[in-house]
Amino acid sequence: MTDTSAVRAAADLWHHYGRGRAGTDRGVPGGFAWTWGQDCGPGAELLGGDLGGLTIGDLGSGSGRHAAHLVVHHRPARVDAVDASPAQCAMAEDLYGFLAPRLRLVRSEAVGHLLGHPGAYDVLYSVFGSLDFTDPAELLPAAASALRPGGLLVASTLGHYLGGAPAEADVVPADIPARTPGGAAATMRRWVLQEQVWAKALDAAGFSAVSTERVAPAVPGGRSAETLLVRAVR
C-alpha cells in the first residue's frame, strides 16, 4: 500500500494542474473570475475598487493568471504571486515572467511567506488556493499579520464538496485525490467549510467586517460546484 502521507510530503502534487491549458492559452486574461467554473459571478471589484499603487498578494497563485490580470489591467504597485509548487511557479514564470518586477513570483508556502512579511500588504486574495489547502488556524493569523490595518482579505472556496456533499460544520479537512508527477495516486488535504465556520475562524484570527456570498454555477451538474466568497477586513 502506498504511504500517501510520505508521498504528499515529497512530491509536487500540483505538477499536472493547468499544464494542458498552458500549452495553448498563454495570454494575460482579460477578466478576473472567482467562481469554480470561471464563467460567472463578480470580478476584481471584490478586491476593493481602485487597486492603483497597492501591494497585493495572491495566495496559492498557480500559473499566475489572476495575478497577471491585476498587473496589466489594474495597475497595482506590485502583485506577489505566492505558490509552493515548483511546477506551478515554473509555469507562471514561463507564461508571465515578462511582467516582472510588478509581478513577483514567490515560491513559498503561504504561511511562511506571510509571517516573514508583517504589514506588507494592502490586499490578500485566494482563488481556490491557499485558503482551501492550508489549515485555517495557521493561515488566517498569518494573513492578518501580513495585512496593513484596514487591509482586505478576499477568497473563493468551495460552497460544498464536489459531488454535492455538504461543507463541514467544524474546522476539519478532507483527504482528496491527487497525483504525483509520475502519476502515482496520492492525497492532499482540503478544507471545505460552512460560512459560519469561516466567519468564526476569521474573527478568532483578528479580522472584522466578515461577509460571505454564495454564487451558483452557471451550468449546474457534473463536477460543477457552488462558490463561497469570503471577505474580511484586518
Query: Is position 90 within any domain?
Result: yes
Q: Which domain holds residue 229?
A: 33-102+110-163+191-233
Q: What is the pLDDT of residue 10?
A: 58
Distance CA 38, CA 225 (A): 11
pLDDT at residue 6, rounded to an integer: 39
Residues in the chain: 234
Provide the number of structural domains found in the chain: 1
What pTM was computed for the model?
Answer: 0.93
- Name the grid cell of 50: 481602485
Q: In b/e form, how buried is each residue of 92-108, taking b as 16+ CB within 10 angstroms? A: bbebbeebeeebbbbbe
pLDDT at position 217, please? 86
Here the CATH number for the domain that contains residue 220 is 3.40.50.150
Which pLDDT tens digit goes with each residue over 188-223? 999 999 999 999 999 999 999 999 999 998 777 656
In a domain, 21, yes or no: no
* Residue spans of the chain under pLDDT 50: 1-9
Please enumerate in sequence order all residues whose Cβ is within 8 A of that of 21, keeping only pairs 6 or more positions apart, or say none: 63
Q: Does 212 fall in a domain?
A: yes
CA 209, CA 134: separation in Å to the nearest integer? 22
- pLDDT value for 7: 34
The closest alpha carbon to 131, from 173, 72, 164, belongs to 173
